[in-house]
Amino acid sequence: MRIGVCPGSFDPVTNGHVDIFERASKLVDKLVVAVLDNPNKHSLFTMEERVALIKASVTHIPNIEVDCAGGLLNEYVKSKDSHIIIRGLRALSDFEYEFQRALFSKFLDDNIETIFIMTNNKYSFVSSTGIRELAKFNGKLTGLVPPVVKEALEAKFNGK
């Protein structure tokens, strides 16, 4: 069984992420979306909230599992009986950062492969940081995030 791991902070998950999940799920028998705890970031949503939001956003993808992880990604990937990391890329700046991370993974374990999936053009400008900023100032979120995420953002910023 080919198992792919798609890691990220997903704070919050966007339609761009969901598009990557949909496309990645066709490349593997099972796709594990791993919500990572990044100690360098202050998250808007807790890890449990992010997992719940992703689960609610991907019910239409049959071969997906949503999990959370900490520590070294390579160790997590191996714990899932995988050797495939799947990353979404929006821009050249993403590639430079993700390329370096892929080389670190390869250095740590030569059996781990990283696959890059380019974003759909309609989501190339969408980032979780931009979404949080839009939500903070009551900007238009429709079409950028799943409806459940829109509701959660409005609840966080507007008390709805």
User: What single-letter amino acid sits at 72?
Assistant: L
CB-CB contact of 87 with 118 (8 Å): no
Q: 78, 90, 101, 106: which is the annotated catalytic residue? A: 90
pTM, whole model, 2 decimals?
0.94
Q: 17, 83, 87, 150: which is the annotated catalytic residue? A: 17
Q: Give dist(CA 1, CA 31) in Å, integer.
A: 11
127 vs 94: which has the higher pLDDT: 127
pLDDT score for 158:
81
pLDDT score for 160:
57
Catalytic site includes residue 160? no
Closest Cα to residue 75, out of 49, 47, 27, 111?
Answer: 111
47 vs 42: which has the higher pLDDT: 47
41 vs 107: which has the higher pLDDT: 107
Q: Give dist(CA 59, CA 78) in Å, integer.
A: 25
Question: Taking residues 72-82, what's their average pLDDT?
Answer: 96
